[in-house]
């Protein structure tokens, strides 16, 4: 198969599909139309299709040669609950929903790779099985976790799994391939401070939950500045603080919430324990009751050594000398539920440069749009990766 001759027409057709998906965004576990588009395209290309994992998930299977070895390629399908502010023709047709993270591009590129891999299969161009994993609910809802829990790797055994995300700020067509931590773990917390309300002019007769909550916000920052190793990245951010309704009333309750970001399970444990200790101290100091609800979110995404080495070599072949491959970028404090897949099976998650973006806007911006110019690079990366991991024997 001559991928160079195939790509121009394929990338143009896939860009049309990408824009159609962009115009019809669907939120977590409701990607019904998107899943239908994916399944129909795979079936038309001659791919074996399986549906139903994590409700709207789709898995395609392409086998060639012995089919004894197998790998997985994953794309996410869901959009964000965000009102789009673009005015191009393919802007969202659904109010309050938008593909502001490029999942429309991820889905489209893997569909394009499916077509190219079928052509490669028909010419006996690789030896093994490729599973195309179209995953729902990456944004906050953990669709990857659900797919794993519902038997993804039991139904479709594979030795490695690979993910790709567009990355604004990197030159279009360039790659970032880092071994070890690449995306942070993301935990959530909600802290309720309860006391005895009263008249604001007579604070000694009550307990000031706002004062206690304010002290809590400040003291929580010591978890990073004085508890965490300064060489180990961590973030503790209080992002909401709700209390009171009147100027002359001390409220009975204050509720705070936020996020904790880390790159190691051990640090996740230490920060949760530290948060609980601080809350106990606030209780004693301010004569209030403090309850903590701490939820473990996505774990850190850690790239395994062996698949990362393969991906780096493939990215260098695809990017060429012009765009380049970054091996030492700092990991992102953003989170990614590909972590659930790569916890179960060795994996590698890479960034594909999307260029500066329109007006320099980044992911999750209401002005963001995936760059169709990198579709060919994404397809080429997936196809080249399959050839590298599942080469022809002898």
Q: What three-state secondary structure class fits 131?
A: strand
Residue ranges per structural domain of the chain: 3-183+300-389, 185-295
Point out which residues pair with 133 in neighbouring strands. 59, 74
pLDDT values of the chain reduced to their tens digit, one per residue, 394 residues = 789 999 999 999 999 999 999 999 999 999 999 999 999 999 999 999 999 999 999 999 999 998 789 999 999 999 999 999 999 999 999 999 999 999 999 999 999 999 999 999 999 899 999 999 999 999 989 999 999 999 999 999 999 999 999 999 999 999 999 999 999 999 999 999 999 999 999 999 999 999 999 999 999 999 999 888 888 999 999 999 999 999 999 999 999 999 999 998 889 999 999 999 999 999 999 999 999 999 999 999 999 999 999 999 999 999 976 678 999 999 999 999 999 999 999 999 999 999 986 555 789 999 999 999 999 999 999 999 999 999 987 5
pLDDT at 358: 56
pLDDT at 321: 64
**Nearest-CA neighbor of 380 among 109, 170, 131?**
109
Q: Do domains 3-183+300-389 and 185-295 have the same CATH topology?
A: no
Upper half-sphere CA count for residue 345 (Cβ side, 13 Å): 23
Q: What share of the chain is helix, strand, coil (3-state, %, to 5)?
A: 40, 25, 35
pLDDT at 250: 95
**Nearest-CA neighbor of 307 among 380, 379, 386?**
386
Q: What three-state secondary structure class fits 95?
A: coil
116: which 2 tokens? Answer: 């190219």
H helices of 290-337, in order, are: 305-323
CA distance 88 to 86: 6
pLDDT at 360: 58
**Second-level CATH architecture of 185-295:** 2-Layer Sandwich (3.30)
The CATH number of the domain covering residues in 3-183+300-389: 3.40.630.10
pTM given for the model? 0.92
pLDDT at 16: 98
Question: HEC profile for the chain?
Answer: CCHHHHHHHHHHHHHHHHHHHHHCCCCCCCCHHHHHHHHHHHHHHCCEEEECCCCCCEEEEEEECCCCCEEEEEEECCCECCCCCCCCCCCCCCCCCECCCCHHHHHHHHHHHHHHHHHHHHCCCCCEEEEEEEECCCCCCCHHHHHHHCCHHHHCCCCEEEEEEEECCCCCCCEECCCEEEECEEEEEEEEEECCCEECCCHHHCCCHHHHHHHHHHHHCHHHHHHCCCCCCEEEEEEEEEECCCCCEECCEEEEEEEEEECCHHHHHHHHHHHHHHHHHHHHHHCCEEEEEEECCCCCEEECHHHHHHHHHHHHHHHHHHHCEECCCCCECCCCCHHHHHHHCCEEEEEEECCCCHHHCCCCCCCCCCCHHHHHHHHHHHHHHHHHHCCCCC
Point out which residues pair with 244 in neighbouring strands. none
């Amino acid at each position: 198969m001559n991928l160079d001759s195939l790509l121009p027409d394929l990338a143009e057709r896939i860009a049309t599909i990408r824009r159609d998906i962009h115009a019809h965004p669907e939120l977590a576990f409701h990607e019904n139309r998107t899943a239908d588009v994916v399944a129909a395209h795979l079936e038309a290309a001659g791919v074996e299709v399986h549906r139903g994992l994590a409700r709207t998930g789709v898995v395609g299977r392409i086998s060639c040669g012995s089919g004894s070895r197998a790998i997985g390629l994953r794309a996410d399908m869901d959009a964000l609950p965000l009102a789009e502010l673009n005015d191009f023709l393919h802007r969202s047709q659904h109010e309050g929903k938008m593909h502001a993270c490029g999942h429309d591009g991820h889905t489209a590129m893997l569909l394009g790779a499916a077509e190219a891999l079928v052509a490669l299969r028909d010419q006996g161009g690789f030896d093994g099985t490729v599973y195309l994993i179209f995953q729902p609910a990456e944004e906050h809802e953990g669709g990857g976790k659900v797919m794993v829990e519902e038997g993804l790797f039991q139904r479709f055994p594979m030795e490695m799994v690979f993910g790709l995300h567009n990355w604004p700020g990197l030159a279009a067509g360039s790659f970032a391939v880092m071994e070890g931590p690449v995306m942070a773990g993301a935990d959530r917390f909600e802290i309720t401070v309860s006391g005895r309300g009263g008249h604001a002019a007579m604070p000694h007769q009550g307990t000031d939950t706002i004062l206690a909550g304010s002290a809590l916000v400040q003291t929580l920052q010591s978890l990073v500045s004085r508890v965490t190793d300064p060489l180990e990245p961590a973030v503790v951010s209080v992002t909401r603080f709700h209390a009171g309704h009147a100027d002359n009333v001390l409220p009975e309750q204050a509720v705070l919430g936020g996020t904790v970001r880390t790159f190691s399970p051990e640090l996740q444990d230490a920060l949760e324990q530290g948060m609980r200790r601080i809350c106990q101290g606030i209780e004693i100091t301010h004569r209030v009751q403090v309850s903590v609800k701490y939820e473990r979110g996505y774990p850190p995404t850690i790239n395994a050594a062996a698949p990362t080495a393969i991906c780096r070599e493939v990215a260098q072949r695809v990017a060429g000398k012009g765009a380049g491959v970054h091996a030492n970028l700092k990991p992102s404090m953003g989170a990614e539920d590909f972590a659930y897949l790569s916890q179960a099976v060795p994996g590698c998650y890479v960034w594909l440069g999307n260029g500066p973006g329109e007006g320099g806007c980044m992911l999750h911006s209401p002005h963001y749009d995936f760059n169709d110019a990198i579709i060919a690079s994404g397809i080429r990366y997936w196809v080249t990766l399959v050839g590298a991991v599942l080469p022809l024997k002898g």
